[in-house]
Amino acid sequence: MTSAKITAKDADLISCHSCHLLCRPAASQDRRPIRCPRCSATLHQRKPRSIKRTWALLIAALVCYIPANILPATIASSLGDVQTDTIMSGVIYFINTGMWPIALIIFIASILVPLLKLAILSFLLVSVQRRSTWRPKDRARFYRLTEAIGRWSMVDIFVITITVALVRMGAVAFFEAGPGLVFFAAVVVLTMFAAMSFDPRLIWDK
Amino acid sequence: MPKKIMIACHECDLLLWLGPLPPGTLARCTRCGAVLSRRRRRSLERTLALTIAGLTLFSLANLFPFMAMTMEGQYRQIVLLTGIKELYLQGMPEIAALVLLTTVVSPFLQLTGLLYVLLPLKLNRLTPAIWRVFRWVRYLQPWSMLEVFMLGILVAMVKLTKLADVVPGISLYCFLALIYVLAAITASLDPSRVWEKWREV
């Protein structure tokens, strides 16, 4: 299917990131953004300031990751007995009460996935900045993995939403979301934006 | 379209010649392995039908009771939006907004956007701003998290059955069906077919 390894960038072409139409941009003197003739999305050869933006979002996520794990994520009270839990102590609580499948789901979604995303994206950024030629195909696969798994971090937030809605028995029992959950939500959203702002084509650029 | 067209891989920017694909097959980039194009039988019709089914299920899922619970002799029934409202009242507007976006707003806008694009095309008509709408439908894709929400529901149910009787409502079954429909939409939607149809019209 392919002859030589020529990229659109080498050939001075731009592939529209939205409808994938291959465009030959006319040299524009003014600084107005060039738009795709088919779908009118703004055209750019690579995502603008991809590396800087991804680093900024990643560092912000890393900063939020600390309070997300230290501050309480949930506050439960039943008959005057108040119990606060962080994400990790929630996992331990599930193990202790014998609900290990739930503990496993929450552990993977809330602790493993965000860490994995932070690690993979940092690794990809460093490798691109050092112009590494190491296994580009595997690095591209890592990128696709971070895009696919990121959304599953939301599981804990949804569990807490449903519990908050159901457990509301006046003075007998209540269940509240804690400040840790806000930071955790910030980590999820920031890493999703970080993954979106990273341009996988940089892995292949020489 | 029997012609080959030149495209650039959206993940590694390699220039490739893409010929017409037989239905039910997909093309991958020869260098990085990204999926370039997927050919489906009757992609437009199928996606349109699924979109209408999805909107119906979406309204049912939001109107009917979602779950009920009996605890210490008290009975409580909730709809999908109850949790979002409670989070907001507890002073967590950020989380309430995020849950609203990922479970209600994004799926709804995606479905209505697709209907706006596909229905007129099917009737051989053009609507204004069609590409802008189609672009936004695809931007919303990562923010529509119903399948993750479903896992959250299961975990919450298992967790709470230890304390109380939890009864699933009608809405929950609509929800399950909706997740299947949304996955089928993602699988059957073939953007290149939409461009082709647009050119014909």
pTM of the model as a whole: 0.89
Same domain, B45 and B141: yes
Nearest CA in chain B to A22: B7
Partners of A11 on chain B (C-beta within 8 Å) are 15
| pLDDT number for residue A81 | 84
For residue A153, the surrounding DSSP H or E stretch is none
Domains contained in chain B, number: 2
Compute the distance between CA of residue B120 and CA of residue A145 in angstroms, rounded to an integer: 36
User: Given pLDDT bands bounded at 50, 70 and 90, which one contains residue A21?
Assistant: confident
Partners of B34 on chain A (C-beta within 8 Å) are 140, 144
Contact B12 A140 (CB under 8 A): yes
For residue A12, CA distances in Å to A20, A50, A82, B118 come to 15, 19, 64, 33
Same domain, B88 and B72: yes
Same domain, B62 and B13: no
Helix (H, G, I), strand (E, B) or coil at B65: coil
For residue A94, CA distances in Å to A78, A83, A100, A104, B154 come to 17, 14, 6, 9, 15
Same domain, B64 and B157: yes
| B87 contacts: CB under 8 Å, gap ≥ 6 | A161, A164, A177, B93, B95, B96, B99
State the best of A135, A160, A161, A175 to mutate against chain B, taking most chain B CBs within 10 Å: A161
pLDDT surpassing 90 at residue B57: yes
pLDDT surpassing 60 at residue A1: no
Partners of A172 on chain B (C-beta within 8 Å) are 72, 74
Q: Nearest CB to B30: which of A1, A167, A203?
A: A1
Residue B193: which domain range? 41-200
Which tokens in the block code for residue B44? 């437009």
Same domain, B89 and B188: yes
Q: For A182-193, what is each residue's pLDDT tens digit? A: 999 999 999 999
Same domain, B120 and B191: yes
Same domain, B68 and B122: yes
| pLDDT number for residue B165 | 85
Same domain, B19 and B87: no
Range scoring the smallest mean pLDDT among A25-29, A93-97, A161-165, A194-198: A25-29
Compute the distance between CA of residue A7 and CA of residue A204 in angstroms, rounded to an integer: 9
User: Given pLDDT bands bounded at 50, 70 and 90, which one contains residue A169?
Assistant: low
Residues of chain A with pLDDT > 90, as a percent, come to 53
User: Given pLDDT bands bounded at 50, 70 and 90, which one contains residue B2?
Assistant: low
Is residue A104 less than 8 Å (CB to CB) from chain B?
no
Same domain, B31 and B106: no
Looking at the domain that runs over A49-204, which CATH code has it been given? 1.20.140.150
| pLDDT number for residue A7 | 86
pLDDT surpassing 80 at residue A31: no
Q: For B76-126, what is each residue's pLDDT tens digit? A: 888 888 899 999 998 899 999 999 999 999 999 999 999 999 999 889 888
Domain with CATH 1.20.140.150 in chain A: 49-204
Same domain, B79 and B1: no
Q: Which ipTM score applies to this complex? A: 0.89
Task: Find tokens 């108040």 and name the residue.
Answer: A82
**A9: exposed, middle or buried (C-beta count within 10 Å: 0-12, 13-18, 19+)?**
middle
| pLDDT number for residue A27 | 63
Same domain, B71 and B154: yes
Which tokens in the block code for residue B28? 């991958």
Same domain, B80 and B4: no
Contact B11 A165 (CB under 8 A): no
Q: For A66-106, what is each residue's pLDDT tens digit? A: 999 999 999 988 777 888 999 999 999 999 988 899 999 99
Contact A17 B10 (CB under 8 A): yes
pLDDT surpassing 90 at residue A152: yes
| A73 contacts: CB under 8 Å, gap ≥ 6 | A85, A86, A87, A90, A156, A160, A177, A178, A180, A181, A184
